Amino acid sequence: MKVRIEVVAIDALMVRLFDDIAETNMPWMLAASEQLRICFAEHLTDLVPSYTTLMVHYDGLALTPAQARERIAQALTDLRPHTQNSGQRHLLPVWYDLSVGPELTLLAQRTGGSVSEVIRRHSEHEYQVFALGFAPGFAFMGLVEEALAAPRLNTPRKRVAKGSVGIAQRQTAAYPAQSPGGWNLIGRTPSALFDRDREGYSLLRPGDTVQFVAVSHAEFIRLGGDDTPQEALA
C-alpha cells in the first residue's frame, strides 16, 4: 500500500491507498476511515470512501492544509487492517426475469450459457459494498466474476425502475429509486434501499456484504415488489 495525498479543494484532500480495485482493499479502507475520524474528530466535515480512495473534507477555518496533512499522516501511521468484517451481511431477494431484467439474454449469450446459469452465477457470490454514490442509497458492489462482466449500455435508459439489479463491468448494484441508468439489468429487488426514516438513510454501507437471493414472482409481489415491465418505462 503506497499512500498518496492529493488536493481536491481548499478544504478537502484525497487519500489514495491503492491503485487497483480489489476485495482485499476493504479491511484497510475501513481501518483508515476509523482512524481518520478519530484524528480529525470535530474538525472532520465529511469522509467519502471509494474503491481505492478516501476523500477527507475538513473544517478549513479550524485547520490549515498542512495541519490536515499532519492528521492524515497520524491516522495512517502503523495502520493495521481489520481482521474481521465489521459490516453487516444482507440477503437481498431478487426476481430475475426478462421483463424486469432485459439484459439476461445478452449476458447468457456472452457467457455461452443459459439465463438460468447467469442467475445462478450472479446469486451464488457474496459481494462487498465498496462505495455509495450516483444516487442516495446506490451501492457499488463487487466483484462480479469475469464471465458476467459487461460494459455499460451505449445509450443509457432515461428511466430505470426502482429496485432494478444490474451489472456494469465487474460491478453490480440495485437502483434505490427510478432514475436514468446504463447498467445491464438482470432482475429487480423489492427491498427498500433508501429510506429517509432509517438511520443513515441507506440500507447498504461500505464494508457491508450482500448476497442476492433468487425468489419467485409470487414472493417478489408478497414482499412489495413492483413488477411493471422495464420496457413500459421507456
Domains and CATH numbers, the chain: 4-76 (3.30.1360.40), 89-233 (2.40.100.10)
pLDDT reported for residue 85:
63
- How far apart are alpha carbons 205 and 128 in whole angstroms? 10
Lowest model confidence (mean pLDDT) among 75-84, 112-121, 209-218: 75-84
Check pLDDT > 70 for residue 170: yes
Residue 12 pairs in a beta bridge with 9, 57
Identify which of 104, 103, 156, 101 has the alpha carbon closest to the alpha carbon of residue 134. 156
pLDDT tens, 53-96?
Answer: 999 999 999 999 999 999 999 999 999 887 666 689 999 999 99
Mean pLDDT of all residues in 44-56: 92
Residue 87, phi then psi, degrees to nearest 5: -85, 175
Check pLDDT > 90 for residue 2: no
pLDDT reported for residue 51:
87
How far the first Cα of the chain sits from its last, in Å, is 45
What's the grid cell of residue 119?
A: 442467475
